[in-house]
């Protein structure tokens, strides 16, 4: 997707060359054909790595026996990890078996005139795709297999939960399906003239293709081999199995052929050598094999085809590539350097892991498809650890060296990798992996003793890196989208910061790596902006508005669909993060959460869930070394949309009546909207009915009651249509800043380009392009009506009454989640001190040194505060960095928000009363001037929000002059360009995020 990088840079996650065969991997090590070995030379070493009851190991064993090829067999574990492959070959690929062949030439034979046999090559490749009855056969496996550790491992491989009870109940259905398969095959065998599938004197590969499935299926269905698969439970002799599945009387043709195959292979001489299965001696022989020569690679395809493919894909010898299966096991890629590429295969030299491979090898994969184009570079320098406390969970990290350039200040970025079914809470069904991205910054001052704050942007679906790079993080991105400069008001000046991209599929977080196309100018009537794609036949041509890349799956069922589900995922993230990185916790272990926008849901919901989990830990309901009590200190919400009725109604009011004197909607629309909202049977009544239904049918907000979800989703759409959508349709001002034009250039969007620069992605070690907003997540939340279901005010009550400091602060130019609604939320929280808070008056937010400015007005009682911040839009730290920083630090250290001079705990102890502000009861008396707007700027990577219709047409027709993703003019003379309006860029220009411009 990173359009700036040329194709020859797209070595990226690129050749996610997937195995042609979806069920096993054939890799040749020191690759060479056995059939071409000279008679006076020692036979090449052939080694098969697999396990006894592996279906495809059985298949390859029969192939080798049929062709009378001597081989050695090394048993590998049935489950990951497989140290013998990783340590000796740097092979991390999951699929089994692996075939190793010593030598130098092609595994494909040549004719005497050196011509290659293209039909044979194609047939060889397609041979690995067989599995005509494999799916049905796996359905006959005894349920005891799925109840074992093997079942857990296979759930991780497949990427979704396996329910042993359901699988056991489906056995009769699967037997019926199997019987149907046999009934279709029987006529073919009954009518054949010869003993084998084809008219051959001996069995062919086609016979083996079917035979191994019957052989394996009959064994495992009768209980044979179960113990060798699971390595637990009763020995095979005591397994009952599922049922007999092969009846000679019902299927005499198939049965006769099957028995002939049995006899034929029983009578064939075994070609398995050295059955002592001593891997060390075999590996020693392999180490002594000749070193690979440059011309050792298995490429029978005409060279012109290679060149054509290289030009089409943009991959050349030496490129860094990652090889994964096309179906399952995609979280265990093998990374290496491209040695050769043809339409049938890809050959790589494996990347060195912790140490060099013990055996010099090249890895051959039959090729199914290629992922190439504008893709992230292959991750390098990433440390990945298995969690010490949470089975199946992995932790990866890297010091990116980006953004925070203050000497001595470190940052870490990486993932918490949660496998399918890791969220072992009631009603959690994550039948998909969660790879959750984080970016941690040390405090610039005394990090060992500094407090820790987690930052979450909203959306739902917004990346928290927007906050890191345009609000409160250590740096901002310059207008070249390539360089950064330090933020003097960064929140890590005196605190450790942890930014998290959540829910999964947001930002750099992903479930399953997926090829996508990205249409920047897609309308609602057209296809979605980001669409999963198949690049088997090549990567589509890209232009200024159509890009390609690798992202998450875009599957709306592979992410959280409610605040509750998102909270569960982040709880598990935090449990792993703080147990695996104890040195990153503050000395007093207190953790705070600051969030924005939809964070009005995230903040209360997450804190409430965390507190209840803490109670379970206290009671011993959650225990073990991996159970980490979160000492929660402060919750900060910036322009949060908290409670739907006040959010929707205040949006209508803010558009018409505000302290800036701007009427963004006319009187008649205002009257219509207010009536539609409050009338009997109106939008407010729908929201109330939704909440009644949710309380009755889904009181714990699991989001799995279809009727309730549907009604609440419709209620949310109706309310939005007469509030936020009405404002946008009017087209007079920006949603996040009523004083700006609708195509708002502030805050600058340059981080979108920077996060997709290959240099940035390489530094982070991420395998995906960045998505600043996930439509899949937004759609999932919309489908449940999460925004209107309520409960946030009660959650805030619970949070406050458990001693957590709550700071609400709102920029007064925002419409979407405005200060009018924010004030109402603060007054409506039904906590013990609701009346005292309402009685407290407003006092100035004192800023500057020696405290000479007022940045807003504050109401506070005890551990709850509400602040209206002057001259600020939605993202307060971008507009008013000093005010935001002051509120942040005062809240974090539990001091009064107005001045920061009063310690709340000391005040309560000495005065035997809670601290309370005094002053006017409201802030409407404080009116604001409309300040000059920043210059318009069309940024192509955020085209719908930043570019005019005219500029979009220039971009579409190719006449736009674009520099660093910014439209700076137009080539065509047929249309006059307002050069005064277009931003005249300088190479080193920085756009500061400062108030008042």
Answer yes or no: is 963 within a domain. Answer: yes
Q: Is the pLDDT of residue 929 over 60?
A: yes
pLDDT at residue 964 in the model: 86
Q: Is the pLDDT of residue 305 over 50?
A: no
Tell whether 729 and 847 lie within a shared domain. no
What are the φ/ψ torsions at residue 278 (nearest 5 degrees)? -90, 100
| Residue 963 binned pLDDT confidence (cut-offs 50, 70, 90) | confident
Out of 31, 342, 553, 597, the active site residue is 597
pLDDT at residue 471 in the model: 96
Tell me what percent of the residues of the chain surpass a pLDDT of 90.
Answer: 43
pLDDT at residue 103 in the model: 54
The residue segments making up the domain with residue 805 are 419-433+440-505+566-642+788-911
Q: Is the pLDDT of residue 310 over 70?
A: no
Average pLDDT over residues 853-868: 96
- Contact status, residue 864 vs residue 806, Cβ threshold 8 Å: yes
Average pLDDT over residues 60-71: 88
Question: SS3 of 969, please?
Answer: strand
463-488 pLDDT, tens per residue? 999 999 999 999 999 999 999 999 99
* Residue 470 annotated among the catalytic residues of the structure: no
Tell whether 594 and 650 lie within a shared domain. no
pLDDT at residue 524 in the model: 40
| Residue 984 binned pLDDT confidence (cut-offs 50, 70, 90) | very low
Distance CA 569, CA 429 (A): 11
Tell whether 637 and 651 lie within a shared domain. no
**Tokens 């049922």 belong to residue:** 243
pLDDT at residue 423 in the model: 77
Tell whether 837 and 733 lie within a shared domain. no
The DSSP element (H or E) to which 939 belongs, if any, is none
Cis amide linkage into residue 294, ω under 30° from 0: no
Distance CA 885, CA 491 (A): 6
The token pair at 216 is: 């394996």
DSSP characters over 817-857: T-HHHHHHHHHH--STTHHHHHH---EEEEETTTT-EEEEE
576-613 pLDDT, tens per residue? 998 888 888 777 889 999 999 999 999 999 999 999 99
- Contact status, residue 332 vs residue 92, Cβ threshold 8 Å: yes
Q: Is the pLDDT of residue 173 over 60?
A: yes
Tell whether 797 and 859 lie within a shared domain. yes
**Which residues is 50 bridged to in the sheet?**
75
Answer yes or no: is 616 within a domain. Answer: yes
Q: What share of the chain is helix, strand, coil (3-state, %, to 5)?
A: 35, 15, 50
493-509 pLDDT, tens per residue? 999 999 999 999 999 99
Tell whether 613 and 485 lie within a shared domain. yes
| Residue 106 binned pLDDT confidence (cut-offs 50, 70, 90) | very low
**Tokens 């192939």 belong to residue:** 63
Cis amide linkage into residue 503, ω under 30° from 0: yes
- Of 719, 744, 769, the last residue of a domain is 744
pLDDT at residue 328 in the model: 57
Out of 331, 814, 896, 942, the active site residue is 814
**Tokens 């399906």 belong to residue:** 177
pLDDT at residue 8 in the model: 25
Tell whether 897 and 941 lie within a shared domain. no
Lowest average pLDDT, out of 46-50, 446-450, 750-754, goes to 46-50
Mean pLDDT of the chain: 80
- Contact status, residue 374 vs residue 390, Cβ threshold 8 Å: no
Length of the chain in residues, anyone?
Answer: 997
Lowest average pLDDT, out of 183-187, 225-229, 230-234, goes to 230-234
Distance CA 863, CA 806 (A): 6
Q: Is the pLDDT of residue 109 over 60?
A: no
- Contact status, residue 996 vs residue 931, Cβ threshold 8 Å: yes
Instruction: Return the sign of the alpha-carbon dihedral for residues 690, 692, 693, 694.
Output: positive
Average pLDDT over residues 20-38: 27
Tell me what percent of the residues of the chain surpass a pLDDT of 70.
Answer: 79
pLDDT at residue 102 in the model: 66
Answer yes or no: is 637 within a domain. Answer: yes
Tell whether 834 and 878 lie within a shared domain. yes
Q: Which of 968, 960, 962, 961 is nearest to 985 (CA)?
A: 968
Question: SS3 of 255, please?
Answer: helix
Distance CA 246, CA 765 (A): 51
The DSSP element (H or E) to which 369 belongs, if any, is strand 363-369
Tell whether 477 and 616 lie within a shared domain. yes
Answer yes or no: is 411 within a domain. Answer: no
Answer yes or no: is 888 within a domain. Answer: yes
- Of 744, 774, 798, the last residue of a domain is 744
Tell whether 726 and 610 lie within a shared domain. no
pLDDT at residue 605 in the model: 97
| Residue 678 binned pLDDT confidence (cut-offs 50, 70, 90) | very high
- Contact status, residue 19 vs residue 368, Cβ threshold 8 Å: yes
The token pair at 608 is: 């409430």
Lowest average pLDDT, out of 271-285, 560-574, 704-718, 928-942, goes to 271-285
Total domains in the fold of the chain: 3
Answer yes or no: is 392 within a domain. Answer: no
pLDDT at residue 236 in the model: 46
Q: Which of 339, 428, 475, 859 is nearest to 609 (CA)?
A: 428
Top pLDDT among 118 and 795 is at 795
| Residue 161 binned pLDDT confidence (cut-offs 50, 70, 90) | low
Look up the pTM and report it: 0.68
Top pLDDT among 164 and 747 is at 747
- Of 857, 876, 911, the last residue of a domain is 911
Query: In 128-204, which residue ranges form alpha helices assigned H by DSSP?
Result: 134-138, 143-146, 149-158, 164-169, 171-191
pLDDT at residue 748 in the model: 92
Tell whether 611 and 475 lie within a shared domain. yes
pLDDT at residue 160 in the model: 59
Lowest average pLDDT, out of 763-767, 935-939, 941-945, goes to 941-945
Lowest average pLDDT, out of 231-245, 521-535, 785-799, goes to 231-245
pLDDT at residue 445 in the model: 95
Q: Which of 574, 569, 333 is nearest to 452 (CA)?
A: 574
Out of 874, 916, 936, 983, the active site residue is 874
Q: For residue 933, count CB atoms less than 10 angstroms from its CB and return exposed for 0-12, middle for 13-18, buried for 19 or more.
A: middle
| Residue 959 binned pLDDT confidence (cut-offs 50, 70, 90) | confident
Q: Is the pLDDT of residue 356 over 80?
A: no
Give 950-958 contacts, CB < 8 A, sequence gap 24+.
Answer: 950/975, 952/521, 955/521, 955/544, 955/545, 956/521, 956/545, 958/543, 958/544
Top pLDDT among 679 and 301 is at 679
* Residue 865 annotated among the catalytic residues of the structure: no
Separation of first and last alpha carbons in the chain? 33
Question: SS3 of 456, please?
Answer: strand
Whole-angstrom CA distances from 869 to 638, 756, 778, 884, 933 are: 10, 33, 28, 9, 18
Answer yes or no: is 625 within a domain. Answer: yes
Distance CA 636, CA 600 (A): 9
Top pLDDT among 542 and 845 is at 845
- Rounded to an integer, what is the distance from CA 389 to the centroid of its chain? 23
Lowest average pLDDT, out of 125-134, 763-772, 831-840, goes to 125-134
Question: Residue 492 carries which DSSP code?
Answer: G
864-869 and 805-811 strand pairing: parallel
**Which residues is 806 bridged to in the sheet?**
635, 864
805-811 and 631-638 strand pairing: parallel
Tell whether 615 and 658 lie within a shared domain. no
Answer yes or no: is 88 within a domain. Answer: no
Q: Which of 333, 376, 404, 394 is nearest to 507 (CA)?
A: 376
- Contact status, residue 366 vs residue 125, Cβ threshold 8 Å: yes
* Residue 874 annotated among the catalytic residues of the structure: yes
What are the φ/ψ torsions at residue 322 (nearest 5 degrees)? -130, 130
Distance CA 893, CA 214 (A): 69
**Which residues is 17 bridged to in the sheet?**
323
Can you give 79-91 as a three-state secondary structure string?
CCCCHHHHHHHCC
Q: Which of 686, 672, 993, 658 is nearest to 818 (CA)?
A: 658
The DSSP element (H or E) to which 633 belongs, if any, is strand 631-638
Q: Which of 346, 798, 431 is nearest to 615 (CA)?
A: 798
Q: Is the pLDDT of residue 11 over 70?
A: no
Instruction: Return the sign of the alpha-carbon dihedral for residues 701, 706, 707, 712.
Output: positive
């Amino acid at each position: 997707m990173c359009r700036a990088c040329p194709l020859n840079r797209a070595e990226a996650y690129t050749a996610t060359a997937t195995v042609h065969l979806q069920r096993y991997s054939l890799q040749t090590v020191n690759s060479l054909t056995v059939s071409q070995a000279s008679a006076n030379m020692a036979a090449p070493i052939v080694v098969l790595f697999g396990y006894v009851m592996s279906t495809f190991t059985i298949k390859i064993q029969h192939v080798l026996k049929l062709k009378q090829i001597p081989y050695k067999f090394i048993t590998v574990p049935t489950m990951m990890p497989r140290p013998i492959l990783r340590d000796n070959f740097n092979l991390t690929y999951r699929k089994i078996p692996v075939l190793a062949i010593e030598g130098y030439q092609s595994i494909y034979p040549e004719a005497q005139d050196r011509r290659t046999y293209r039909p044979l090559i194609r047939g060889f490749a397609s041979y690995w795709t067989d599995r005509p009855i494999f799916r049905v056969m796996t359905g006959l496996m005894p349920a005891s297999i799925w109840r074992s550790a093997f079942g857990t491992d296979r759930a991780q491989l497949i990427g979704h939960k396996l329910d042993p009870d359901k699988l056991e109940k489906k056995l009769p259905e699967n037997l019926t399906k199997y019987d149907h398969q046999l009934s279709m095959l029987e006529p073919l065998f009954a009518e054949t003239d010869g003993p084998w599938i084809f008219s051959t004197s001996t069995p062919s590969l086609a016979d083996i293709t079917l035979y191994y499935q019957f052989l394996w299926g009959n064994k495992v269905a009768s209980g044979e081999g179960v113990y060798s698969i699971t390595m637990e439970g009763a020995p095979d002799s005591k397994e009952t199995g599922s049922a007999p599945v092969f009846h000679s009387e019902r299927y005499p043709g198939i049965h006769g052929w099957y028995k002939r195959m049995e006899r034929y292979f029983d009578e064939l001489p075994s070609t398995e050598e050295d059955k002592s299965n001593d891997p060390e001696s075999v590996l020693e022989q392999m180490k002594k094999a000749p070193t690979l020569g440059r011309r050792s690679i298995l490429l029978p395809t005409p060279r012109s085809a290679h060149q054509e493919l290289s030009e089409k894909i943009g991959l050349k010898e030496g490129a860094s590539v990652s090889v994964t299966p096309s179906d399952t096991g995609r979280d265990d890629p093998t990374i290496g350097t491209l040695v050769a590429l043809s339409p049938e295969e890809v050959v790589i030299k494996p990347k060195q892991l912790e140490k060099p491979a013990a055996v010099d090898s090249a890895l051959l994969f039959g090729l199914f498809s290629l992922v190439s184009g504008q893709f992230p570079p292959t991750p390098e320098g990433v440390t990945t650890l298995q969690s010490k406390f949470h089975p199946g969970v992995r932790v990866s990290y890297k010091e990116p060296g980006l953004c925070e350039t203050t000497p001595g200040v470190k940052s870490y970025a990486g993932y918490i990798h949660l496998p399918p079914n890791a969220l072992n809470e009631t009603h959690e069904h994550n039948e998909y992996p969660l790879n959750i991205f984080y970016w941690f910054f040390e405090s610039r001052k005394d990090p060992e003793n500094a407090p820790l704050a987690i930052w979450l942007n909203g959306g739902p679906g917004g990346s928290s890196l927007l906050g890191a790079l345009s609000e409160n993080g250590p740096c901002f991105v310059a207008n070249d989208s390539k360089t950064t400069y330090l933020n003097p008001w960064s929140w890590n000046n005196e605190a450790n910061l942890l930014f998290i991209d959540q829910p999964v599929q947001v930002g750099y977080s992903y479930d399953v790596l997926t090829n996508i196309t990205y249409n920047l100018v897609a309308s609602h009537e057209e296809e979605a902006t980001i669409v999963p794609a198949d690049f088997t036949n090549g990567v589509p041509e890209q232009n200024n508005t159509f890009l390609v890349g690798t992202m998450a799956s875009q599957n709306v069922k592979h992410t959280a669909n409610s605040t509750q589900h998102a909270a569960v995922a982040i709880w598990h993230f935090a449990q792993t993060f703080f147990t695996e990185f104890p040195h990153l916790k503050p000395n007093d272990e207190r953790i705070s959460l600051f969030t924005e926008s939809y964070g009005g849901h995230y903040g209360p919901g997450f804190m409430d869930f965390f507190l209840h989990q803490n109670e379970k830990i206290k009671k011993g309901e959650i225990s073990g070394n991996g159970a980490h009590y979160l000492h929660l200190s402060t919750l900060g919400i910036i322009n949060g949309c908290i409670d739907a009725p006040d959010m929707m109604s205040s949006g209508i009011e803010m558009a018409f009546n505000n302290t800036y004197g701007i009427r963004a909607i006319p009187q008649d629309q205002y009257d219509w909207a207010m009536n539609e909202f409050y009338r009997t049977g109106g939008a407010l009544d729908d929201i109330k009915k939704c909440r009644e239904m949710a309380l009755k049918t889904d009181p714990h907000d699991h989001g799995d009651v279809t009727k309730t979800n549907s009604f609440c989703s419709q209620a949310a759409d109706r309310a939005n249509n007469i509030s936020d959508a009405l404002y946008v349709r009017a087209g007079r001002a920006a949603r996040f800043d009523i004083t700006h034009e609708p195509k708002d250039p502030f805050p600058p969007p340059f981080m979108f380009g920077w996060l997709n620069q290959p240099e940035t992605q390489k530094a982070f070690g991420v395998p995906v392009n960045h998505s600043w907003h996930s439509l899949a997540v937004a759609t999932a939340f919309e489908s449940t009506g999460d925004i209107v279901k309520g409960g946030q005010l009660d959650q805030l009550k619970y949070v406050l009454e458990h001693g957590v400091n709550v700071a609400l602060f709102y920029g007064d130019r925002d419409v979407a989640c405005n200060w009018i609604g924010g004030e109402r939320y603060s007054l409506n929280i039904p906590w013990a001190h609701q009346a005292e808070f309402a009685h407290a008056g407003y006092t100035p937010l004192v800023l500057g040194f020696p405290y000479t400015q007022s940045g807003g007005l504050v109401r506070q009682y005890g551990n709850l505060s509400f602040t209206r911040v002057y001259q600020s839009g939605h993202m307060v730290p971008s507009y008013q960095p000093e005010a935001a920083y002051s509120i942040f630090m005062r809240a974090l250290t539990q001091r009064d928000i107005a001045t920061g001079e009063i310690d709340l705990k000391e005040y309560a102890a000495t005065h035997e009363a809670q601290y309370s502000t005094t002053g006017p009861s409201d802030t409407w008396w404080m009116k604001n001037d409309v300040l000059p707007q920043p210059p318009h700027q069309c940024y192509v990577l955020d085209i719908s929000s930043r570019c005019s219709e005219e500029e979009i047409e220039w971009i579409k027709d190719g006449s736009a002059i674009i520099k660093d993703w910014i439209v700076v003019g137009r080539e065509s003379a047929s249309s006059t360009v307002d050069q005064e309006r277009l931003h005249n860029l300088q190479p080193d220009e920085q756009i500061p995020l400062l108030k008042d411009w």
